[in-house]
Structure formats: structure tokens, C-alpha cells
Structure 1
Amino acid sequence: MTRTAPHLATLVLLTALTVLTLNMFLPALPAMQEAFGVSEQVIGQSISLYMAAAAVLQLILGPLSDRIGRRPVILGMLVIYVVASILCLLATDITVFLIARTAQAVAVGGGILSSAIVRDLYEGRGAAAKLSLIASAMAVAPMLAPMVGGAMEAAFGWNSIFMAYAGLGAALLLWCWRDLGETKASGGIAARGVSQLLGSALFWSYVGVQALGVGVFYIFLTGAPFVMVEFFGLGSAQTGLVLGSTTAGFLVGAGVSARIVERLGGMRLILFGRMLPVIGICAAWVYFAGGGVALWPLLCATLCVGFGNGLSIPSSAAGALSVQPELAGSASGLSGAAVLAMGAGLTAMATAVVGAQTTPATLLAVMGLVALGALASAGAARMLDKDVPARG
């Protein structure tokens, strides 16, 4: 089958499905708890089971797309997603709802396969530019989705959110049937190729840039609410604005990356994008360790984190997918699972450390150590990638 380039909007929407399915329903959790007559812990499984399934599915859907193609996997994923969303909408039993909700985790394929499709169609700097455009468009989704979900629940009830999921999935299914041709080159995958990918230090260096870079963001999101309330005395609304600072920085960084990566090259953006958070975090730590109490140095540090991630993550993702181009699906799934696993581990660590000593200096110290790890991974990628001039 010919390698047919889908519209960029198709890839953005497929990636958006992952984010929307995870967090648009969150404001409706109390209403759902009441509707099903269960405890907070039970309804909370709609998040934990979803994330666990998403981690496993990333390891399945990527390699499967390398074997049978991107198009059949995406179309099959969307069929399952629509059916699962309808079951969630109609469920009157919590067990049925949780099973269907867990099945919705197939949405994770939208993100990993969009990245693989970009690598199928573009190389090096071109792939990094397209991934940056997708990332900059997607940076808005985590901010808007809970607001939209909350408004829908207030106006029409929690079921309306799952009706929207089903409608969006059905619309995407029809659109992808029309717009998304097969982009993977003909030929299956060999076990030897997968083994080489798993054993590639270069691949894991690029993954380390992504996982540790995003990990700094997760640490901030986990520890900052405690610091905002206990140290700075902020309310929940003000805390929400502070938490949005990293997302704002990421949006700007990804936008800048999309504009300049083809001129400067991905490796330069990766290295600068990993240096900037280290510098910002260290400067803020020195301020708070010296007794400072103002909020703005922490905000500056988190803007550096977001901006640095926006610069470095799209190019590091393109680098990871370029190690074995014929295994872009497997590479995307593996890197996505690694990011999720790293995020879970670092979130638990941040909760323990910052919970024991709730100060900005403690939070920044943990963030700084992980940011240094991301910088080290970037340095390793630079040394290991012998084809940097060609790839950019």
C-alpha cells in the first residue's frame, strides 16, 4: 500500500484522544461516586486501572503496528474505544463500568502511533519539527479538558462526558478511515531487530532524556501543591495557576522548537533544553537555601523546566524513533511505557521526600537531581550518536 501522509490535524486529534480520555472526566468523579454508590477508593480505580492498562498497551500496540501496519491498529483501536465508551455511558454496575473504563486505555495508541507515523514519513529534523508542532498543539489539552469536563457534568451530568468520548471516537474512526493511509514500509519485523533496539545504549539515552525530563514535571506537580499551601499560604485557585506555569513554558518551548529545529538541529535543542532547567532550578535552590521566601524564583525555575522540555522532548523522541526506523512503533511504545513508569516512581519519591520536609528548597533539590540525570542522558546521546550531523 502507498505511504499516504495524513493531515497533521489527524495526528493531533489522535494524540489528543489520549489526554482527553485520561483527564476530561476527572471533575465528574464525585458525581460518579454518588451515582454508583461506592467509596472514593473504588471510583479512584477508574484512574489507576486505566493507567496500568495504558502502560501495558504501549508495549503491545507499538510492536503490533510494526508487524501489521499503523492503519489497521489505529482503526481497530478506535472501534474498541467507541464500544468501551458506550459501555461506560450505559453502565449501571461499577464492575462493568471499571472494565469498560479500563478498555478505554486503548486510546494510548493514538499518541504512540502518531509519533511512529511521523517517523515513517519524515526523517531527522523534519520529524522533530512535526513532533514539536503536535506537542505545542497538545500542550493546551491538559489545561482545557478538565474545564470542559466540569462544565459538561454540571450542565448535563457525568454520562455526557462518556457520550462525548463515544462521539469523538466514532468521528475519528470515520475520519481516519478516509484520511489515514498506511505509512509503514512493507515488510514485517524481525526478532533480531527488536533485540538490537532493546540493547541500544543510544535508544535508551534518548528515552532517558524524555523520561527524566517529564519526570521533573511530575515531581513538581506532586510536591508543589503541598509547598504552595504550607510554605507560601496559597489557596487552591492560586495553586492551580502556579501548576500551570510548567505547561505554559512547555507550550512556548515546543512552539519555538517547531520553528528553529530544522535550522539548528535537534541535538542542539536537546542539549540546551536540558541545560536550562538545571540552571533555573539551581539558581532558585540557592535563593531558597539562603532563606528566601518570595514565590517568583520558583515560578522562574518551573518556567525553565517547561520551556526546556518543550525544546528537548520532541527532538529526543525523534532521535529514539530514528535508531531503528523500521521499528518506530516499537520504539514509541517502549519510550512511552518508560516515561509512564519513571513518572510513577518519581511521583512516589516526591510524595515521600517533600511530604517529610515541605519547603521549596527540598522540592527543588529533588527536581534538580532528576534534571541533572536528564542532562547526563542528553550528553550520552550526543556522544553515542555518530550520525548527529545527518540527523540534526
Structure 2
Amino acid sequence: MSSAPEVRYLDRSTPPHISTLIAATALGAMSMNIFLPTLPQMAEYYQADYALMQRSVTLYLLINAILQLGIGPISDRFGRRPVLLGSFILFSLATIGCIFAPTAEIFLAFRMAQAVVVAGLVLGRAVVRDIVPGPQAAAMIGYVTMGMALVPMIGPVVGGILGETFGWQANFVLLLATGLTVLTLTWFDLGETARASTGGFREQIREYPELFTSRRFWGYCGATTFASGAFFAYLGGAPYVGSEIYHLTPSQVGFFFGAPALGYFVGNFVAARLSVRLGINRMILYGTSISTAGLLIPVALHFMGLDSAQTFFGSVTLVGLGNGMTMANGNSGMLSVRPHLAGSASGVGGAVMLAGGALLADLAGSSLAGSATAMPLVAIMLGSSAMSIVAIVYTIRRERFVGAV
């Protein structure tokens, strides 16, 4: 009786090693937040307003969202491997542009071009869904994102130290070196996992209504979008909170900034261990509830007069914990609604998530202007997290009383 072929590391004729998937997804996470502790430094370098440099988060997320709409169906049609390789090449070129950009506007243009790296996040999940089904996919996504979570936990710390020691450009030099390393690893290890498709790109797009008419898809999409919305609002507002409200140095901002990633790491470990036993829906409900409860803590402490950097960033760790439990299962749910459109589902779901995240990040940045406390940011995060509970409760009720649609 024949057994499944053994996965051989650095052999693209076999499915990829899990470390390759972690690297492909982690590069996007690293690009998103490693330089954030140095945003005030970058604004001073370019003699630009902080609000303008904060657009490096908002615009990056918006372009991510737009690209995801195409990355999914293109990879369904032409394969995961060529799309990933092309995206990592373009990312490396855009990173060189960021390093040498002479003005803030040119920097933002290259920063938007860096968003092509989102292919790693989209297709890392799709590759998992290609090779393992159902709850097992949620467990494997949990392990992949658990490894990926180390990057945003460590990245801001490294970024703050590099910024203080060598200047903000050092962060993008590190991104360039990492991008080239991931490109090399993908070339040698990641073989094609998508099933061959004979339809054209237009045919892939025409199949989108299959997703759009599924209420289960939108339920999972809503749960992940609102849950991650709290984190994206944090990305947009936390650098300002750390530097302007709590008066922290870039290295201190980097240290505190990684607090949610610690919770996210633990949450992904929990998802990997318990998703098969408890099921996707229960894990999402537990995760969204933990995140929302965590955001009530800084509100209570503020009214008790105990507001500080330690209490704010420490409380937000629970948001990361809940998101770690939610995102792996929510993504697996989206991809499992229509398995033959896994790439498209990942792209559409990711686009909605990042578009919402961009809006919340921009709202967080603008709402904090002139504020003496972090409460405007906390209010936005709390509202978004609460809506994630509504979305998963709706999904559960649909399955219980109407059936899978």
C-alpha cells in the first residue's frame, strides 16, 4: 500500500516545507510594522507632517486590498508558485526605492509598490488549503501564523533599535535582505500546489458570485474583518500614542508595540491545538469575545486614574490573543465554503479585511490628533471588536436554523 510522498526540504517537486510558508507570510507582516516606531523620525527627515507619513500604513493597506482581488484568481488560473516569485522580486525592487527616495511623496509611492508582498499572505493560506482539508487546514494555518506572529512581536523592537542606531533607512535595508532570502527559499522549495485550471481569468472572475451569494462566506469575512480591524486601528494609532501621549523613545515604542503579537502567538498556538476538537465557529466566538473583553480593561483603568503605557499596551495583548484564535479559523472558514475557489476566497476576504483595516487605521490616526489620552483609539478598537462577535453569532445562527448556504 503506497503512502503519501515525503516532503523533501528544498525540493520544489514536493509540497513546501512549513518553514517556507511561514517565511512567505511573515515577510508581509514584517514589512507592515517594522518601521512604525521610527515614523516620527521619518517625518523629521522628510520635514513632513506626521499625518502624511502615517499614510504609509493607510495607503499600504489599501493597495494590499486592491491587489488581493486579483492575486487570488490569477493564482487559481496560473498557479501559486509563479505569482509568489514575481511578487517577491517586485517587493525587493520597491524596497530599494524606499531606501533612496528623496522626498516623502516618492517614498510613499515606493511604499505602495511594496504592497505586492501581500501575495505571500494570500497564497500562504491558499497553499495550506490546497494540501489539507477542513479543520486540519485551520490547525495548519494556526501553526503557520503562530510562526509568523514572531515577526510582528520582534520586528518593532528591532526596528526601533535600528532606527535609533543607524537611522530609519536601516529598517528597509533589513527588509531588502529578508525579501531576497524569502525569494530564494521559495524558488527552491515551493512547488505548485494548485490544481490545474483550464478556464481563463475572466472565468475566474465570473465565479465570484458563488462567493458573494454565500452568507456563510460573508459571516466569516465579517468576523475576520472586524476582529483584525481592531489591530489595524492599533497600527495606525499606537505609534502616536507611544511617542506623543506616553513620551516613549523609538526603541521603547518598539518594545511596547509588540505586545499584541505576543498574545497573537499564544492565540495561534491555541487555534492549532484546539480547532479540530472544538470546531471553527466556537473558536471564533471564543476569540472575538476575549479580544472585546480585553479592550474593556483600558477603559476601566482610565476611569480609575490608572492610565499608563504599561496598562494600555499590556491590555491590548488580549486583543492579540483573541485575534490569534479568530483569524486562523475565520480564514479556514472562508476558504472552506467553496473549496474549488480557495485562492479567490482568500483574495476577496483579504481585500475586504485590509480595506476595512485601512479605513480604521486612518480614522485612528486622525482621531488622536491633539488628544491627551489613548481613549479615542481604544473606542475605535472596541467598536470594531464588538462587531466581530455580531458577525460570528450571525454565522452560527445561519448554520443552525437555515443550513449551510
Please report the TM-score for the alignment, with normalisation by the length of structure 2.
Answer: 0.79
Change in Cα spacing, 1:151 to 1:123, as seen in structure 2 (3 Å) is same
- Written as runs of structure 1 = structure 2, the 5 A alignment for 1:65-104 is 65-89=75-99, 98-104=108-114
Residues 226 and 358, structure 1, Cα contact 8 Å, conserved in 2: no
Q: Where do 5+ consecutive residues of structure 1 fail to align? A: none
1:194 and 2:203 aligned: no
Partner of 1:125: 135
Residues 133 and 254, structure 1, Cα contact 8 Å, conserved in 2: yes
- Written as runs of structure 1 = structure 2, the 5 A alignment for 1:173-184 is 173-184=183-194
User: How far is 1:212 from its partner?
Assistant: 0.6
Deviates more, 1:17-26 or 1:296-305: 296-305
Change in Cα spacing, 1:105 to 1:191, as seen in structure 2 (3 Å) is closer
Q: Which of 137, 148, 155 is the matching residue for 2:147? A: 137
Partner of 2:222: 208
Residues 277 and 301, structure 1, Cα contact 8 Å, conserved in 2: no
Partner of 1:39: 48
Question: 1:12 is matched by which residue type in structure 2?
Answer: I
Deviations 1:221-247 (A, max 9, x none): 6567788899xx844267766654433
Residues 273 and 311, structure 1, Cα contact 8 Å, conserved in 2: yes
Question: 1:64 is matched by which residue type in structure 2?
Answer: I
Q: Which of 281, 299, 306 is the matching residue for 2:320? A: 306
1:260 and 2:270 aligned: no
Partner of 1:322: 336
User: How far is 1:198 from its partner?
Assistant: 2.1
Residues 80 and 123, structure 2, Cα contact 8 Å, conserved in 1: yes
Deviates more, 1:13-22 or 1:109-118: 13-22
User: How far is 1:12 from its partner?
Assistant: 0.9
Equivalent residue pairs, number: 383
User: Distance between the aligned counterparts of 1:194 and 1:92, measured in 2?
Assistant: 41
User: Distance between the aligned counterparts of 2:171 and 2:236, measured in 1?
Assistant: 26
User: How far is 1:156 from its partner?
Assistant: 5.3
Partner of 2:248: 236
User: How far is 1:267 from its partner?
Assistant: 1.8
User: Distance between the aligned counterparts of 1:6 and 1:124, measured in 2?
Assistant: 19
User: How far is 1:207 from its partner?
Assistant: 0.9
User: Distance between the aligned counterparts of 1:46 and 1:227, measured in 2?
Assistant: 17
1:275 and 2:289 aligned: yes
Residues 288 and 361, structure 1, Cα contact 8 Å, conserved in 2: no
User: How far is 1:315 from its partner?
Assistant: 0.3
User: Distance between the aligned counterparts of 1:253 and 1:191, measured in 2?
Assistant: 34
Deviates more, 1:25-34 or 1:75-84: 25-34
Deviates more, 1:87-96 or 1:106-115: 87-96
User: How far is 1:172 from its partner?
Assistant: 2.1
User: Distance between the aligned counterparts of 2:336 and 2:353, measured in 1?
Assistant: 18
- Written as runs of structure 1 = structure 2, the 5 A alignment for 1:106-125 is 106-125=116-135
Q: Which of 151, 158, 181 is the matching residue for 1:171? A: 181
Question: 1:39 is matched by which residue type in structure 2?
Answer: A
Residues 227 and 323, structure 2, Cα contact 8 Å, conserved in 1: yes
Q: Which of 6, 12, 16 is the matching residue for 1:6? A: 16
Deviates more, 1:25-34 or 1:260-269: 25-34
Deviations 1:86-131 (A, max 9, x none): 4444556777655444322211111111011111111121111111
User: How far is 1:284 from its partner?
Assistant: 6.6
Please report the TM-score for the alignment, with normalisation by the length of structure 1.
Answer: 0.81
Residues 14 and 111, structure 1, Cα contact 8 Å, conserved in 2: yes
Identity of aligned residues (%): 37
Partner of 1:293: 305
SS at match of 1:374: helix
Residues 85 and 166, structure 1, Cα contact 8 Å, conserved in 2: yes
User: How far is 1:383 from its partner?
Assistant: 2.9
Change in Cα spacing, 1:159 to 1:265, as seen in structure 2 (3 Å) is same
Q: Which of 22, 40, 60 is the matching residue for 2:32? A: 22
RMSD value over aligned CA atoms?
3.8
SS at match of 2:304: coil
Question: 1:337 is matched by which residue type in structure 2?
Answer: A
User: Distance between the aligned counterparts of 2:298 and 2:48, measured in 1?
Assistant: 41
SS at match of 1:139: helix
Q: Where do 5+ consecutive residues of structure 2 fail to align? A: 1-11
Residues 280 and 300, structure 1, Cα contact 8 Å, conserved in 2: no
Deviations 1:254-300 (A, max 9, x none): 11111222222222211211223344545775x469x5233598677
Residues 260 and 321, structure 2, Cα contact 8 Å, conserved in 1: yes
Change in Cα spacing, 1:379 to 1:8, as seen in structure 2 (3 Å) is same
Partner of 1:58: 68
